[in-house]
Amino acid sequence: MTGFAHATTGPGGSTDDTAQRPAGAAASSAASSAASSAASSAASSAASSAASSASAAGSAVTVEARSVNSRFLDLAFRLPDELRGLEPALRELIGATFKRGKIELRVATQREADSGWPQPQPDQLNKLSRLESTVIGWLPKAQPLSVNEALMWCRQGGASDRLDAATLVAARQAIAGLREARGREGARLVDILMERIGRLRELAALAQPLVPAVVLRQQQRFLDRWNEALQNAGAGGSVSADALRDRALNEAAAYALRIDVAEELARLSAHLDEIDRLLAAGGELGKRLDFLIQKLQREANTLGSKASALELTNISVEMKVAIEQMREQVQNIE
């Protein structure tokens, strides 16, 4: 009995990194790398394939299992007619191993060229003789069995059970191979995700020191425009200068709150920490990672909409690119 397995790879993400790394980002990247070693063996990919073969009753059986990404467990079977009765057992076997993915199981049988004819057993021939006598008793005009037909019947007797058993053995091997292949591919996907997480931490570290200066600069710009507008409108005659100044400061403070992205950066960091935790813990990650990727996208979009400086806008764009690369990889994680 022989078996073999092979894995197919899903879409990969770019790992080029051209931005300079500040000290804080380097520390975050080191932490992500440490977590990656624990996470690499904890996740599995939904896109892989494996196969196994076995021999029984003069026939070779090949079982091939393939899986692609799916939000749920979706099973499809391609079985020869003589093995269709095994579908419930195969369905149970796959369901006990996988929780997500579109999995197709193909089974093919082929008569071995050197299998020859089995030696008829006396009990088989006696049973066949009794059956023939019964049939002729009811159907006198029925033709007697030929030697070839008798040999065919003896060859099939008991072969079905042996073929079923061999098929289940090969199926278990193929499913085990598929699980291993998905695990190897999952480790590769986790490495890509950890690289993207490190990149997002670097971008957040680049944005963090820019925020106070950007807020102050935009606040002062707002005050300048406010004063200019008051002067052009000729205001100030009926309202004291102190009242106008207080009103301007209040409006500037409110404006500063609207453009401050410190909260978005803090939430983004918290979401990245949660992704790190999930990858390290392993298990069924796909749906939870999907949800966290949506949160990352929301924070990056808000950062871009609130950004009032070109530096922050560029950082927001790079964040969106990294998050999209993560989203593509998460689609292939179980």
Per residue in 128-157, pLDDT (tens digit) is 888 888 988 898 888 888 887 776 666 555
Give me 276's structure tokens. Answer: 């790190």
Q: 134 and 39 in one domain?
A: no
Instruction: For residue 286, give its domain range.
Output: 189-330
What is the Cα gyration radius of the chain? 34
What whole-number distance in Å separates Cα of residue 66 and Cα of residue 53? 15
Low-confidence ranges of the chain (pLDDT < 70): 1-48, 55-58, 112-119, 151-159, 214-216, 218-220, 222-260, 308
Is residue 221 within 8 Å of 250, Cβ to Cβ? Answer: no
Q: 168 and 143 in one domain?
A: no
Q: 198 and 306 in one domain?
A: yes
Q: Please report the pLDDT score of residue 89 as a whole number.
A: 94
Q: Please report the pLDDT score of residue 209 as a whole number.
A: 81
Enter the pTM of the model: 0.58
Q: 319 and 234 in one domain?
A: yes
What whole-number distance in Å separates Cα of residue 48 and Cα of residue 180? 9
Q: Please report the pLDDT score of residue 6 as a whole number.
A: 34
Q: 266 and 309 in one domain?
A: yes
Q: 163 and 32 in one domain?
A: yes
Q: 197 and 134 in one domain?
A: no
β-pair partners for 51: 4, 64
Reported as a single tens digit per residue, the pLDDT across 95-121 is 998 888 899 999 998 876 555 555 677
What whole-number distance in Å separates Cα of residue 197 and Cα of residue 97? 29
